[in-house]
Amino acid sequence: MNKLTKYCYGICLLISIAINILLSIYLFLGGGEKNDEISYRPPLTWSKKAAMEAEAVAAISCSGHGRAFLDSSISNGHPVCECNGCYGGTDCSELSPECAADANSGDPVYLEPFWIQNAADTAVVISGWHRMSYDYVDNTMMSIELENHIRQLHSVAGNAVTEGRYMVFGVGSSQLLSAAVYALSSETASSPSKVLASAPFYSIYKDQTVFFNSENFQFEGDANSWESSDFTNNMDVVEFVTSPNNPDGELKKSVLGGKTIYDHAYYWPEFTPIPGPSDEDLMIFTLSKLTGHAGTRFGWAIIKDKNVYEKVLKYIYLADMGISKDTQLRVLKILKVANQEDGKPFFEFAYNKMRERWERLTSVFSKSTRFSIQQRHPLHCNFFHETRLPSPAYAWVKCEREEDDDCGAVLKARKIIGSSGITFSAEARYTRLSLIKSQDDFELLLQRLTELVSHENGCIEKM
């Protein structure tokens, strides 16, 4: 009995001490999560408060139909849920039944789930003293680390030649479109350079050129309305080519073969097969359509000619002295993850999302004779090593009936909001529907389209 008690004491003591040792080791290792990049593991100090705030906000449930952010407005001491379209209530649980499906904007939120899955690798802590200076240590306004990762991503995706090319960052591609027009239009010309794009085209090309109203250039409309033969060598044109095209997803080439700005916002494996690397004189890309971070205004231009490069650089400097250092740091984090495993996890996730949406969309339109969408032509994709159909960011819908000459109005009457063809200098018979918004938005769009087609076929079938 006595022996037994002593024995028991001994065992308990040993177990207890063992637990102490284990707990101490766990504490010393800072919680024991895996960590590949940090060589030592002191407990967190100044960054902990911000980390806890971020995790507390991320933990707020908005019923899967919305999200709270660190800078959401505050109610009862907590950030409020910001609900997806057609959802409401404090926790976004209420769907308004008669709400219209808004497929107007090109908000690329469809990739949000990927970044949530990769939370640990894409989070970034920005200290209060992070890069207060105008310049980086090399006296430029662009992060060389970021530039290197962008070049790496292009070689991974195989969509652009970057070797021996200059690169300039811009506040989204929007700013670079305007910078490129300034760089390519000749200041000395007696008459302003003619800026053109072949319809249907992204309206900002016209809107910017008209608004800035420079003596250097003038918007002249649809490139197709001009014959190459109209242009002599000394005629001064700047042509915008969007490839794949917004709105219809076509891989386009210059019509006039003069000075050209290639807007490659959508030239990534999730939207189009990549037949090969683009090797144009001036190519513009944007984070917005690549990773879905439209709120992070960041784009870049890849430029062959040194003089053009220097003019674009000067534009960016005079316009706003470069891109926020915090933005560049965040983009670096995001692209490091996009580059992982030669881009496979990221581009496969994005492509599969788009392909699935297109499969569901085409099955709906296949039942319709009143409405059609653009033809998609299979191409070999060097990234996925297979021949496949494109999966464009937008459906370019045509109303086939003679009387439906305002397609936007026809759709709107059925609670579907798109962008009229007129916005793209095309006919009102066409409407653009965005396919890259949130899953909620897409599901509602598909529901309204199904109702539309069912109605066309006589049976009002409610989903």
What residues between 70 and 109 interact with a copy of itself by CB under 8 A?
70-74, 77-78, 82-83, 105, 107-109
The number of residues in the chain equals: 463
| Alpha-carbon torsion, ordered 179, 183, 184, 186, to 10 deg | 130
Spatial CA neighbour of 179 closest among 306, 87, 308: 308
Burial status of residue 173 (CB atoms within 10 A of its CB: 0-12, 13-18, 19 or more): buried
27 binding a copy of itself? (CB under 8 A): yes
Which residue among 69, 231, 349, 384 contacts a copy of itself (CB under 8 A)?
69
146 binding a copy of itself? (CB under 8 A): yes
In whole angstroms, the minimum distance from the beta carbon of 135 to a copy of itself comes to 7
β-pair partners for 299: 170, 286
39 binding a copy of itself? (CB under 8 A): yes
**How far from chain centre, in Å, is Cα 229?**
38
46 binding a copy of itself? (CB under 8 A): yes
The per-residue b/e assignment along 276-298, b for 16 or more CB within 10 angstroms, e otherwise, is ebbebebbbbbbbbbbbbbebbb
- Choose the binding region for a copy of itself from 151-159, 276-284, 329-337, 365-373 (rule: CB under 8 A): 329-337
415 binding a copy of itself? (CB under 8 A): no
6 binding a copy of itself? (CB under 8 A): yes
Tokens standing for 411? 């759709």
13 binding a copy of itself? (CB under 8 A): yes
378 binding a copy of itself? (CB under 8 A): no
Closer Cβ to a copy of itself, 192 or 273, answer by number: 192
400 binding a copy of itself? (CB under 8 A): no
243 binding a copy of itself? (CB under 8 A): no
190 binding a copy of itself? (CB under 8 A): no
In whole angstroms, the minimum distance from the beta carbon of 441 to a copy of itself comes to 11
For residues 214-233, which are near a copy of itself according to CB under 8 A? 214-216
189 binding a copy of itself? (CB under 8 A): no
Other beta carbons within 10 angstroms of residue 195's beta carbon come to 27
| Residue carrying the six token digits 């200098």 | 425
Which residue among 1, 133, 234, 460 contacts a copy of itself (CB under 8 A)?
133
318 binding a copy of itself? (CB under 8 A): yes
For residues 335-354, which are near a copy of itself according to CB under 8 A? 337
116 binding a copy of itself? (CB under 8 A): yes
64 binding a copy of itself? (CB under 8 A): no
Separation of alpha carbons 236 and 359, rounded Å: 44
One DSSP character per residue, 270-328 reads: TTS---S-B--SEEEEEHHHHHS--SS--EEEEES-HHHHHHHHHHHHHHHSS--HHHH
Other beta carbons within 10 angstroms of residue 217's beta carbon come to 24
329 binding a copy of itself? (CB under 8 A): yes
Q: Specify the pairing of strand 386-388 against strand 379-381.
A: antiparallel
Which residue among 144, 189, 235, 463 contacts a copy of itself (CB under 8 A)?
144
Tokens standing for 461? 């079938």
Which residue among 1, 4, 132, 413 contacts a copy of itself (CB under 8 A)?
132
